[in-house]
Amino acid sequence: LLSADGSLGVTIFEEMTTLAMSTGAINLGQGFPDEDGPAEIKAAAQAAITAGANQYAPGKGIPELREAIAAHQERFYRLTPDPQTEVIVTTGATEAIAAALLAFIEPGDEVLTFEPFYDSYGAIIGLAGAKHVTAPLLAPDFLPDVDAMESAFSERTKVVLLNNPHNPTGAVFPREVLERVVELARKYDALILSDEVYEHLTFGVLHLPVAGIPGAAERTVTISSAGKTFSFTGWKIGWLSGPAHLVAAIRTVKQFLSYSSGTPFQSAIAVGLALPDEFYTGIASTLQHKRDILAEGLRAAGFGVYTPQGTYFINVDTEPLGIDDSVDLARRLPGLVGVAAIPVPVFCHAEGAERTRSLLRFAFCKKTEVLEEAAARLATLR
């Protein structure tokens, strides 16, 4: 978390997970599933370890995984990146974001994100010495205010950093929004960096990669990760794709961040990416069911609930309970009722923090009985 004085503290995820553990609270804060992903992916990692895939992988990732990433993009989006030159494997999406921003921005450049924004964006933009400009996503649907977005662009905008489906709000951007972003990026000659780690976690709406919008591909780098799609957040296998010259620049930076990424996990994720379509529709419908259980529980507990179209997260308004400081509430909630959550203002600069001061984010990527128990505990708040 980049605090107001510019210093880097402990991330909100670490803070809330530590608090959940010390109080024994149900952790609906940090977004990670409480069940492992598919057995065949786990078995593939175990087999790779047994077969001796335990030394450094090539810096850009093992060929099978780069080919599987390209094949997955063709299957779902009809995009055809060249696995030799237009795809690299990274240590989670986190490294992809850092390496791409460090590759593209110079001190004094501007990076535009929507607000609230995922915490690592602000930290890396700050570390790179760039200026972080934001455009708000407003309740109830958290879709961009297109006029505000337009006025946030300037001649110095070097990168537009999109996150779709969006963490923390759960918004999924429709085609018109993406078209507008592409039009503005072209007008101001900005690169588009698109974090799509929740690409398969949408509920009744289709995810559209911005790289597929006409005019976008030549200036877009798309980031994703195995953590969310396959429920192996601890393996830290991510990737990115885009035009060869942009990918080459990012790879140069990646060499000096991690050099390469976990070898046996790479071959296992290649197996995951080739799973049949039913796996992908299955994870989305399972998660949609979990969303509905938690949304119902939160409504019954008296929160104002914003039902998301994607991701792991539901945002609620605490105002109906007479509470207007979600940061304070999040710190007290584990002790009060035994549930941990993440306050939305921490994903904002000062003005956005004021606007979102009564918003709280709950993760629903948990077993249904855990969600039901959490809802029962939250119902005792009023």
Chosen from ligand GLN, ligand PMP, none, partner binding at 92 (C-beta under 5 to 8 Å by type):
ligand PMP
Residues near ligand GLN, by CB under 6 A: 11, 13, 30-31, 167
Is cis: bond before 243, omega within 30 of 0?
no
Chosen from ligand PMP, ligand GLN, none, partner binding at 261 (C-beta under 5 to 8 Å by type):
none
CB of 2 to ligand GLN, least distance (A): 14
Asked whether the beta carbons of 348 and 327 are under 8 A apart, the reply is no
Query: Within its chain, how far is the Cα of 90 from the centroid?
Result: 15
Chosen from ligand GLN, ligand PMP, none, partner binding at 203 (C-beta under 5 to 8 Å by type):
none
CB of 153 to ligand GLN, least distance (A): 27
CB of 31 to ligand GLN, least distance (A): 3
Asked whether the beta carbons of 227 and 235 are under 8 A apart, the reply is yes
Compare residues 104 and 312 and give the one whose CB is closer to ligand PMP.
Answer: 312
Compare residues 158 and 236 and give the one whose CB is closer to ligand PMP.
Answer: 236
Q: Report the interhelical angle of 39-50 vs 263-273 (nearest 10°).
A: 140
Residues near ligand PMP, by CB under 6 A: 92-94, 118, 163, 167, 195, 197, 225, 227-228, 233, 236, 238
CB of 25 to ligand GLN, least distance (A): 15
Question: Cα separation of 132 and 108, whole Å?
Answer: 10
For the chain, the C-alpha Rg in angstroms (whole number) is 20
CB of 347 to ligand GLN, least distance (A): 9
> Closest Cα partner for 135 from 81, 92, 171, 99?
171
CB of 320 to ligand PMP, least distance (A): 27
- Taking residue 320's Cβ as centre, other Cβ atoms within 10 Å add up to 15
Chosen from ligand PMP, ligand GLN, none, partner binding at 13 (C-beta under 5 to 8 Å by type):
ligand GLN
Give exposure, 283-307, as e/b (b: 16+ Cβ within 10 Å): bbeebbebbebbbebbeebbbbbbe
Tokens 């409504």 belong to 299
* CB-based burial label for 262 (10 Å; 0-12, 13-18, 19+): buried
> Closest Cα partner for 132 from 150, 156, 148?
156
Using CB atoms, what's the residue nearest to ligand PMP? 92
> Closest Cα partner for 65 from 345, 321, 274, 324?
274
Is cis: bond before 116, omega within 30 of 0?
yes
Compare residues 153 and 312 and give the one whose CB is closer to ligand GLN.
Answer: 312
Compare residues 163 and 326 and give the one whose CB is closer to ligand PMP.
Answer: 163
Asked whether the beta carbons of 48 and 262 are under 8 A apart, the reply is no
Chosen from ligand PMP, ligand GLN, none, partner binding at 163 (C-beta under 5 to 8 Å by type):
ligand PMP
Both tokens assigned to 57: 């992988």
Question: Cα separation of 239 and 276, whole Å?
Answer: 20
Compare residues 70 and 269 and give the one whose CB is closer to ligand GLN.
Answer: 269
CB of 46 to ligand PMP, least distance (A): 21
Compare residues 236 and 377 and give the one whose CB is closer to ligand PMP.
Answer: 236
Alpha-helical runs (H) found in 163-211:
175-187
CB of 200 to ligand GLN, least distance (A): 15
Chosen from ligand PMP, ligand GLN, none, partner binding at 30 (C-beta under 5 to 8 Å by type):
ligand GLN
Chosen from ligand GLN, ligand PMP, none, partner binding at 178 (C-beta under 5 to 8 Å by type):
none
Compare residues 213 and 269 and give the one whose CB is closer to ligand GLN.
Answer: 269
Asked whether the beta carbons of 239 and 224 are under 8 A apart, the reply is yes
Compare residues 48 and 123 and give the one whose CB is closer to ligand GLN.
Answer: 123
CB of 180 to ligand GLN, least distance (A): 26
